[in-house]
Amino acid sequence: MKKYFYFFKRRQSFTLIELMLVVVIIGSLVAMVAPRFTGRGEQARITAARADIRTNIATALKLYELDNGRFPTTSEGLNALLERPASAPNWQGPYLEDEPIDPWGREYQYRYPGVHGRDYDLYSLGRDGVRSDDDVTNWER
């Protein structure tokens, strides 16, 4: 028993080989897990924009319509959900808490009446900020 405790008292540090082995194991784990998380940031932005367009802003627009009998005009825009426009006597807002900004930092685009078979068109220009295939819209699923 005396020799057993003596062994632990003498040994006070790790060897270089033991440290290298731990570094290699951690590096291998990171190399296996890291690729699974790449691209998730952009996917999260797209999901957030869809939630805003299909739920958050859509609900605010429906409440505005219930109070005023119509959706905001294109010229009033989504700002009508935050500040009372002169043409909305029954305005009960604000209908949104914050300015409607997409996950890429730009304003959502709004058009009333819509031209894509809906009451209104609501969309984000996506990552590139121009009309293209990466847009998130309320008329495409």
- pLDDT tens for 2-30 read 555 555 555 667 787 888 888 888 888 88
pTM exceeds 0.85, yes or no:
no
Q: Is residue 12 part of a domain?
A: no
The candidate with the shortest Cα–Cα distance to 56, out of 86, 103, 97, 23, is: 97
How many structural domains are present in the chain? 1
Q: Which amino acid would we find at residue 42? A: E
Q: Is residue 95 part of a domain?
A: yes
Residue 125's domain comprises 43-137
Q: Which helix (H) or strand (E) holds 51?
A: helix 40-51
The mean-pLDDT minimum among 13-27, 51-65, 91-105 falls in 13-27
* CATH code at position 68: 3.30.700.10
Distance, in Å, from the CA atom of 85 to the CA atom of 70, rounded to the nearest integer, reads 13
Q: Is residue 23 part of a domain?
A: no
